Amino acid sequence: MNRIMVALIGAGAMITSTHSLAAAFQLAEQNVSGLGRAYAGEASVADDASVVSRNPALMNKLDGTQISISAMYVKPDVSLQGTSTNNGVPASALDNSSIAPSAVVPSAFITTNINDKWSIGGGMYSQFGLATEFEDDYVAGQIAGETEIVTINTGIAASYQVNAQWSIALGLNHVYADAKILRNLGVNTFGVPNETEVVNLEGDDTGFGWNVGAVFNIDEDNRFGFHYRSETDITFKGTFSNQLLAVAPFNGTGGQALPGSVAITLPAIAEVSGSHKLDKQTALHYSILWTGWNSFQTLAANVENVGTVFTKDENFSNSLRYSIGADHQWSEVLKLRAGFAYDESPADENHMSISIPDTDRIWYSFGAEYQLTANSSLDVGVSIIRGKTQRFIEKDNFGSEWGFKSKGHASVFGLQYNHTL
């Protein structure tokens, strides 16, 4: 196995995802108030300072200086069942009851009014992330191992109230991204232990993007919102190494770390939302969210002084997310929320992987807001996410074919504190 082949084993997982909480490795979780509605109406609802992330044109709807701080606990339930092999390994050896670890997704936002026309705000949150973990001695180690991508978006925005009906906004974003890939040799005919590390790739980078928003108020009870977020180019720069020796038939690095990089483009996102008060207590919200995943057509990995060691077709397609939800003011201090969403997967069924057991998802969400004082409130929310079962076969670089049936579900629990100064 030469160095190029070793790099190929792991590079294809850089942008892949387990059943993350939106399409591919996109995260919807920027606030808890929206979580209770399955994020319906996010571009048209002005609940709190978290509007900075989904449509800052809504900042004009908030009074004074507002702060929102949230944390969401994500508990994935992603399992694999082996269905076939072509190398004599029992299919049951591929079974894995949990390949995605739990995680906490935090966020923080602040907005303030400058005058009756201008508002500004800022926030820290995440829009993309993934994590998968397999045992070091997993039989299909070349396509398993550990994959992790973490992003942190730090954004600022300004909004302007054009007139009684229209408000617009512009935002700038700094994105920090960190990636880690570990791959092991797995079952082989060379007498080398399964857990031998064949890929250790770590790197990080920063990128910049922008976003624009608009809000149109038909009247006091009916509103439409639009938000667009640009693509962000990221080149993960770091080190590549493995535990293979530079002797026949191997040509590894022997543990030596070499400079390497993988370039990706975080996709553009657009959302159209509507919000309508049905009566004094109840409001209906809905959204269509588009994600430009066609930016992931190919993926290339490079090692310094070696060149491009891997190019793989991903063939991601643009995806849509449809959501509808409602909130009801139960009493002066308690607001109840509920929502439903259908989230399309962008993954190509001919390029499925155990690092991408991605599938269409259905969201069932519930939440509540409790007014603690005149200036503070607490949001709670929960979403139950159900994914369709997928069947696929994945090949490794030894020619082994591994057949899987994957199931992916998740639960999200959130808590958010809001305060007006």
Gap between the Cα atoms of 235 and 226, Å rounded: 29
Number of Cβ within a 10 Å radius of residue 255: 12
Mean pLDDT of the region 316-340: 95
| Residue 134 structure tokens | 């397999």
- In this prediction, residue 309 carries a pLDDT of 55
Gap between the Cα atoms of 213 and 223, Å rounded: 14
- In this prediction, residue 247 carries a pLDDT of 46
- Residues making up the chain, counted from first to last: 421
- In this prediction, residue 312 carries a pLDDT of 58
Q: Is 220 helix (H, G, I), strand (E, B) or coil?
A: coil
Gap between the Cα atoms of 414 and 386, Å rounded: 18
Number of Cβ within a 10 Å radius of residue 354: 25
User: Residue 49's closest CA among 112, 138, 96?
Assistant: 112
- We report the CATH number of the domain holding residue 272 as 2.40.160.60
Model pLDDT for residues 228-274, shown as the tens digit of each residue: 999 999 888 888 777 877 544 445 677 777 788 888 888 999 999 99
| Residue 359 structure tokens | 């599938």
Lowest mean pLDDT among 262-266, 316-320, 417-421: 262-266
In the chain, the percentage of residues whose pLDDT exceeds 90 is 52
Classify strands 376-387 and 361-373 as parallel, antiparallel or unpaired: antiparallel
Q: Could you tell me the residue range of the domain that residue 287 belongs to?
A: 3-420
Contacts with 157 (C-beta within 8 Å, 6 or more apart), sequence order = 52, 56, 59, 120, 121, 122, 169, 170, 171, 172, 211, 213
| Residue 248 structure tokens | 């026949």
Per-chain mean pLDDT for the chain: 86
Number of Cβ within a 10 Å radius of residue 146: 20
Q: Is the dihedral of CA 348, 39, 217, 119 positive or negative?
A: negative
**Is 133 in contact with 152 (CB distance < 8 Å)?**
no
**Is 54 in contact with 27 (CB distance < 8 Å)?**
no
Model pLDDT for residues 105-121, shown as the tens digit of each residue: 899 999 999 999 999 99
Is the preceding omega at residue 249 within 30 degrees of 0, hence cis?
Answer: yes
- In this prediction, residue 9 carries a pLDDT of 30
50 DSSP assignment: T
Q: Which residue has the higher pLDDT, 124 or 353?
A: 124
- In this prediction, residue 248 carries a pLDDT of 41
- In this prediction, residue 413 carries a pLDDT of 96
The Cα-based distances of 222 to 39, 90, 268, 272 in angstroms read 18, 60, 27, 14
| Residue 23 structure tokens | 């399409």
Q: Is 158 helix (H, G, I), strand (E, B) or coil?
A: strand
- In this prediction, residue 389 carries a pLDDT of 86
Mean pLDDT of the region 32-41: 95
φ, ψ for residue 35 (rounded to 5)? -55, -40
Gap between the Cα atoms of 275 and 285, Å rounded: 4
Model pLDDT for residues 363-384, shown as the tens digit of each residue: 999 999 999 999 999 999 999 9
Q: Which residue has the higher pLDDT, 269 or 20?
A: 269
- In this prediction, residue 210 carries a pLDDT of 97
- In this prediction, residue 28 carries a pLDDT of 78
Number of Cβ within a 10 Å radius of residue 183: 29
Instruction: Indicate if the pLDDT at residue 315 is higher than 80.
Output: no
Instruction: Indicate if the pLDDT at residue 342 is higher than 90.
Output: yes
Instruction: Indicate if the pLDDT at residue 57 is higher than 90.
Output: yes
The full DSSP string for 258-289 is EEEEEEEEEPPEEEEEEEEESSSSEEEEEEEE
Model pLDDT for residues 65-74, shown as the tens digit of each residue: 999 999 999 9
Q: Give exposure, 81-110, as e/b (b: 16+ Cβ within 10 Å).
A: bbeebeeebeeeebebeebbeebebebbbb
- Single-letter amino acid code for the residue at 387: G
How many domains are contained in the chain? 1
Maximum CA pair distance of the chain? 76
Residue 314, CA atoms < 13 Å, CB-side half-sphere: 28
- In this prediction, residue 10 carries a pLDDT of 33
- In this prediction, residue 1 carries a pLDDT of 34
Lowest mean pLDDT among 200-204, 269-273, 353-357, 416-420: 353-357
**Is 350 in contact with 127 (CB distance < 8 Å)?**
no
Classify strands 401-420 and 197-219 as parallel, antiparallel or unpaired: unpaired
User: Residue 25's closest CA among 295, 227, 209, 225?
Assistant: 295
Gap between the Cα atoms of 63 and 188, Å rounded: 64
Gap between the Cα atoms of 130 and 116, Å rounded: 41
- In this prediction, residue 307 carries a pLDDT of 63
φ, ψ for residue 317 (rounded to 5)? -115, 155
Q: Is the dihedral of CA 5, 7, 10, 14 positive or negative?
A: negative
